[in-house]
Structure 1
Amino acid sequence: MTATVHHRETEIQGQRVFYREAGDPARPTIVLLHGFPSSSAMFRGLIPLLADEFHLVAPDHVGFGGSAMPPVGEFEYSFDKLTEITSELLDALGLDRFAIYVQDYGAPIGFRIASRHPERITAIISQNGNAYQEGFTPFWDVLFAHAEDRAANEPAMREMLELDATRWQYTHGVPADRLDRISPDTWVLDQAYLDRPGNKEIQLQLFWDYQFNVESYPAFQEYFRTHRPPALIAWGEHDEIFGPDGARAFARDLPDAEIHLLDAGHFALETHGPEIAALIRDFLGRSLS
C-alpha cells in the first residue's frame, strides 16, 4: 500500500515551519533533517519506503523550502537558532523519543539536539552528516576563509549559490551508470528557493556561522562516547564535500557504529534510496527491539 505523506505547517517562535509527516505516530519515530541547499524534499523518496514501519517527520529549516524566510536583519540565522526551532517543533508535535537521520546541515542541528537531550535519542543515522575534522575536504578552504574575512571571500561564496554549483552538489562523485537516476528537478527546485529575493544573504550568514559547528564537535563526540547511541553511518564514499574519512571517524567514539560506504556522492539518497532504506530497516529493527 502506498504511504500517504502529509504536508503540514505550524508556527514556532512566530515563524512558519513546514514539515512532511507520514506513518503511524504509535510506531518508532525518525526525524529527518535535511542539508544545504535542499529541503525536506530530499526525503520525498525515502519517506514512502519506510512509512509502513515507522513514523517520519521531516521539517524544512527556517530559510529553506516551505518554511518562513524572514530577512537576515529580522531573524538570527545561526545553527543554534535553527536547533531551537527544530527542538520546539518536536515538542509541539509531542515527540519525546526519536531517531535522527542527519545529512549535511542537518548534522550540527541534530547532534546539538542529541547532545543536549540524550535521553530523547533512540538512534542516529548519519548520511554524509559530519562531526569530525577528518570529514573536511579542500572544498571547505574557501568557507573557512570566509569565516575569517567575509568581505574578501564573499564573491567566491556567492558562486556557490548559483545553478552550476547547485547541480554539481548532486552530480559529483556519482558513478556514470547512476547519473540517470538523479532527477533535474532536484537542483532546479533548490535553485528556485535560493533565487528568492533575500535568500542568498541568508545562506551567506549560515556559511559564516558554520565555524561554530566545528567548535561544537568536541561536545558531539563526548556525547557519542558517553551515551553510545546506536549509530548507522551510510555515507556516499565519493563525496567531495564531506569525505569518507568523516564516516570512518565515528568508529573512534562509537566503536559499535555500523559504517557503510556507498558508491555515491553527497546526496546519496538520489542514487541509493532503496539501499539506504533497507539499511535503516535492518538497523532500527535490531537497535530498537
Structure 2
Amino acid sequence: MTTSIASQLQRLCGHLAIATWLLIGIGGATRVMNAGLACPDWPLCYGSWLPWQQFNLQVFLEWFHRLDAAALGLGTLVLVALGWRSRSHLPRGWPWAATGCLLLIGLQATLGALTVTELLRFDIVTAHLGTALLFLVSLLGLKAALQPRSPLTAEPAVPLPFIALAAIAVYVQCLLGALVGSRWALHQCLAGSQLCGVLQSHLWGVVPTTLLIAILAGVAWWRGQRRWASQLGGLLSLQLLLGWGTYHWHLQIEPLTVGHQMVGAALLGFLASSGFRAHFSPLSSVPEESMYDVKQRQQTEVPA
C-alpha cells in the first residue's frame, strides 16, 4: 500500500466522518426546532436554491441541513473516485466498500426527500437517522482499514465481539431515541399516557447498554488501557447526564436534546472506531505495557 495515498484517503475519511457527526447534530436541531417542514418542497426550498425572502431561523436550519448533506455527498463521491483510481495501492475490496458508502448517501437522500413529502412520518425520520449512523460507522471502518500495521496502533486490548455487542446496543438505543423524538412520545406519555411503551423501551434500554459499556470500560482498565477506558466512561457519563436532563426538562431545552443525540452518535463512533482498529490490526491483543516496551526498544536499538 502506498503510504501517501493511504494517508490522504485516511484524512478524507476522517473529515467526512466529522462532517457526518456535525450533520447529525444539525438534523437534530432541525427536528427539535420544528423546522423539518420549514421548506415545503424538495430538493428546492420555496422553489429556489436560496430562498432569501422566506429566511427565518427554521427555514435556515432546514436549508443549511440540505446544503451540508449535499456537500457531504460530493465529498463521498470524491472519496469513491480516488479509491477506484488508486485501487492497486489499496486493500482488496476497499473501493467497493467506499462505493457502498455512496449508496448509503443515495438512500439517505431518498429518505430525506420522503421525510418532507410524507410530512415527517415517524418511521422515515427514524430510518433517516439510522442510515446516517450507518454511514458514520462505514467511514470509520474505511479509515481504520488504511491504518499502518504496527503494534503501536493496536488498541484496545479488549475482546472484539464485546466491543461489537456494545456498539450494536448503542445503535439500537439511538434508533429508539429517534423513535421517541419523532413520535413525541415523551410529551404524549406525560400528557395523556399515550405511547408510554415507546418511551419505556428507550428508558429500559439504558440499563443493558450502560452495563455493557461499564463492563467493557472495566475490562479495558484492568488490561492496562486506562486512557481508552476513561474516554469511554466519560462519553457514557455525559450521555447519561444529558439523557436525564432531556427527560427531566421534558425536551424543553433544545441544546440538551441535540447534545444527547450527538453524544450518542459520538459514543457509537468511538466504539465502532475502536472495534475496526482492533479488527484490522494483526497485533490487536498486544497490551499497552508491551507496546511501550516495543517503542522503547526501537528508540534504543543500535544498528549493527
TM-score over 0.5 for the pair: no
Structure 1 or 2, whichever has the larger Rg, is 2
* Larger RCO: 1 or 2 (CA < 8 Å, sep 6+): 2
Of Structure 1 and Structure 2, which has the larger fraction of its residues in strand? 1
TM, length-normalised to structure 2: 0.30
